[in-house]
Amino acid sequence: MERHRNWLRSRPGLAILAFVLGASGLGTASALVSRHVGAGAPAAASRVPRAPTGPALRLEDGFSGPAGASPNTGLARTLWYTDPCWTSGCGSPPQPTRYMASHAVLDGHGHLVITATQGATGRCGAIACRFTSGRLTMLDWAAGGTPSWWQQYGTFSARLKLPVGKDLYPSFWLVGADLARVGWPTAGEIDVVDGVGASAIGEQQAQFGTPDYIAPYAGTFVLPGHQSLAGWHTYAVRWSPSGIAWSVDGRRTSFMSAARAGADWKVSFAHPFSIVFDLAVGSGMTASEAAHVLPAKMLVDWVRVVGGA
């Protein structure tokens, strides 16, 4: 698949993350980060669901702020960074998508909007960049991959509207906060949802193992009643020591047990993870197709994390 994410191996020279999980405090959930949905949010049905009782709230972002503002607007500290992986192509085969901060901004109505457009400058690894989009990560690669936020276990959810079109790959996913230290796929990856091009089918994955042996687990789902991925839906994973359960709009869609991962579970999934949102454009999109499909927008209404170790 175009979005295969073994990009760390093609980024020689990156500083190695200078922390050990236990010594740095990453063995426990990070402090609460919260920016509730503001007055400019849309209808109440789209607001972040409140949980007055039950598991502790660990992260909540309703993306309130003025149109065109950075997704960090209104936060007490920087949470989101633009991933510079486009310089290496972000995968194998490399993607022709350059990621820029200007393509992941607030819309003034309580949404984060990631926009993919035709046209780009520079090299995306071994190929020329042809498209520009946004990829937000919680890993600060300017500081060697240090995570701004991390969480081990819990329920990670986001309300999204995904673009549908040939060679469009919107995604909400989690990656091990120790990625810079141990590499991919050892750090582990949990894809909460992947939009797969023009298909009405969504994909959910876990990837783990070692660079020499990648052990993916993948599940797919189709929304009931001929609904489209282009509508608003809530995508979530409930990640616990026993396994990873995926759901869409509260309906369980897939499950991977810790036993299935075997010894790799402890290596790849028994440590904190951080969050990534991105919209990639694949190399198969022609200029004429791009003229009809782009610009494409991925909207994030809110993201929320509760519970955890």
> Residue 122 belongs to a domain with what CATH number?
2.60.120.200
Indicate the range of 37-41, 42-46, 59-63 predicted with least confidence: 37-41
Asked if residue 2 belongs to a domain, the reply is: no
Over range 199-223, report the average pLDDT: 91
- So what's the pLDDT on residue 23? 33
pLDDT digits (tens, 9 = 90+) for 93-147: 899 999 999 999 999 999 999 999 999 999 999 999 999 999 999 999 999 999 9
- Helical segments of the chain, H only: 21-24, 179-182, 258-261, 263-268, 287-293
- So what's the pLDDT on residue 53? 53
Is the pLDDT at 25 greater than 50, yes or no? Answer: no
Cross-strand pairs, 303? 61, 158
Total-model pTM? 0.86
Over range 186-209, report the average pLDDT: 92
pLDDT band at 51, cuts 50/70/90? very low
- So what's the pLDDT on residue 196? 86
- So what's the pLDDT on residue 3? 42
Is the pLDDT at 306 greater than 60, yes or no? Answer: yes
Antiparallel, parallel or unpaired: β 57-61 and 33-35: parallel
Asked if residue 3 belongs to a domain, the reply is: no
Q: Which of 18-22, 47-51, 284-288 has the highest mean pLDDT?
A: 284-288
Is the pLDDT at 154 greater than 90, yes or no? Answer: yes
Is the pLDDT at 12 greater than 70, yes or no? Answer: no
Look at the block and give the residue holding tokens 């810790």. Answer: 258
Over range 158-185, report the average pLDDT: 95
Check if the beta carbon of residue 234 is closer than 8 Å to that of residue 249: yes
pLDDT band at 52, cuts 50/70/90? very low
Over range 224-238, report the average pLDDT: 95
Check if the beta carbon of residue 187 is closer than 8 Å to that of residue 176: yes
- So what's the pLDDT on residue 290? 93
Asked if residue 232 belongs to a domain, the reply is: yes
Average pLDDT, the chain: 85
Is the pLDDT at 192 greater than 80, yes or no? Answer: yes
Tokens standing for residue 197: 């091009």
d(CA 63, CA 112) in angstroms, rounded, equals: 6
Asked if residue 160 belongs to a domain, the reply is: yes
- So what's the pLDDT on residue 126? 94
**CB under 8 Å to 85, separation ≥6 — which residues?**
7, 11, 99, 135
- What is the count of structural domains for the chain? 1
**CB under 8 Å to 131, separation ≥6 — which residues?**
96, 97, 98, 116, 117, 118, 119, 120, 281, 285, 290, 294
Which structural domain, as residue segments, surrounds residue 144?
8-306
pLDDT band at 208, cuts 50/70/90? very high
Residue among 34, 74, 64 nearest 51 (CA): 34
- So what's the pLDDT on residue 41? 31
- So what's the pLDDT on residue 30? 54
- So what's the pLDDT on residue 34? 66
